[in-house]
């Protein structure tokens, strides 16, 4: 069976949007917040989300912060799909 992976980018409202999609689709939602100042997993329910994932049937919706200035995708000779996201040096 084929599967579909959808990538969505958010600018600060990832938690709210993905929670809404979860309610609409009845999917399993995983949220991963940015770590706190000490580098530990944040327990703040308002912390910005670094990555999120909704799984529903054969599909997946991934959400994260906006892509950087350089973005590319490729499939290598081993069939591995790579997604590259880089910011410009600044």
Q: At 8, which CATH number?
A: 3.30.720.120
Give bridge partners of residue 13 from the DSSP assignment: none
Residue 31: band (very low, low, confident or very high) from pLDDT cuts 50, 70, 90: very high
- Which of 45-49, 66-70, 86-90 has the largest mean confidence? 45-49
Higher pLDDT, 90 or 48: 48
User: Comparing C-alpha atoms, which of 84, 66, 53, 60 is closest to residue 10?
Assistant: 66
Give bridge partners of residue 86 from the DSSP assignment: 70
Mean pLDDT of 69-87: 80
Domain that holds residue 61: 4-86
pLDDT higher than 90, residue 42: no
Token code pair at residue 30: 């995983």
Predicted pLDDT of residue 90: 65
State the total domains in the chain. Answer: 1
Alpha carbon distances (Å) from 61 to 11, 38, 69: 16, 30, 22
Average pLDDT, the chain: 84
């Amino acid at each position: 069976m084929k599967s579909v992976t959808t990538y969505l980018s958010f600018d600060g409202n990832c938690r709210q949007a993905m929670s809404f999609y979860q309610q609409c689709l009845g999917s399993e939602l995983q949220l991963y917040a940015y770590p706190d100042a000490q580098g530990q997993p944040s327990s703040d329910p308002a912390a910005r989300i670094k990555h999120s994932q909704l799984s529903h049937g054969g599909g997946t919706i991934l959400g994260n912060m906006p892509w950087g200035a350089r973005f590319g995708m490729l499939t290598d000779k081993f069939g591995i799909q790579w997604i590259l996201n880089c910011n410009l040096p600044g």
